[in-house]
Amino acid sequence: MTGPKDDRTLSRLTPLDDAYRSCERTCAVLRLYCGDMHPSEVTKRLGLKPTHQIVLGEESPPNSLGLKRVGKVNGWFLSSEEFVESKDVRRHLDWLLAKLEPNSEVLRELQAGPGVRMSVECPWWSRYGTGGPTLWPEQMRVLAALNLECSLGFAYYGPQEPAESAQSDLPRDSGPS
């Protein structure tokens, strides 16, 4: 999706950079809240396994703090974080969109379902309190074609390493905001 330089990329200011020095951590997550539909139905229809899911009324496995919670919504999440080693969010979006683009018709059908809400979220944790990601037209074209909004969640946790509590922010699963 984001290939080597060609005529279209020559005019762009921000080349791909896997080191992306201003970024502490980033990824791309499809957050799909599926109304009354069980997340396993989303898995079946998309032919993709989620990296995380929550089921209405069911207790989740304990998190890193040993805490469990009961799902308040049905949610299906696919995150690039474990699969892409890059601080450039475009790499993460490329991975996620390559999974989703072949399923564009199914996504459209799901979007038409009652109570279904979905979004691509890109948490972007700054290393120094400044900086920011760049999206290229290649990612935006596919996001638009899939009728997916894209949110960029900025955060800065100071010079210390991100705290354990921050780990639980990825992905958010408290329901559509």
User: Exactly one of 28, 126, 171, 173 binds another protein (CB under 8 A); which one?
Assistant: 126
Report the candidate in 18, 65, 27 with the shortest Cα–Cα distance to residue 172: 27
CB 74 within 8 A of CB 56: yes
- Interface with another protein includes 32 (CB under 8 A)? no
The region, left, alpha or beta by phi > 0 then psi within -120 to 50, assigned to residue 176 is beta
- Interface with another protein includes 163 (CB under 8 A)? no
Q: Residue 119 CB, nearest distance to another protein (Å)?
A: 8
- Residue nearer to another protein on the CB measure, 94 or 121: 121
- Interface with another protein includes 64 (CB under 8 A)? no
Report the candidate in 123, 112, 42, 109 with the shortest Cα–Cα distance to residue 80: 123
HSE value, Cβ hemisphere, 13 Å, CA-based, for 101 = 15
Instruction: Tell me, residue by residue from 71 to 110, as one string, x for binding to another protein by CB under 8 A and - for no binding.
Output: ----------------------------------------
- Residue nearer to another protein on the CB measure, 60 or 168: 168
Distance CA(43)–CA(11), nearest Å, equals 40
- Interface with another protein includes 175 (CB under 8 A)? no
Given the rule CB under 8 A, which residues bind another protein? 8, 11-14, 119, 121, 124, 126, 129-138, 140-141, 143-156
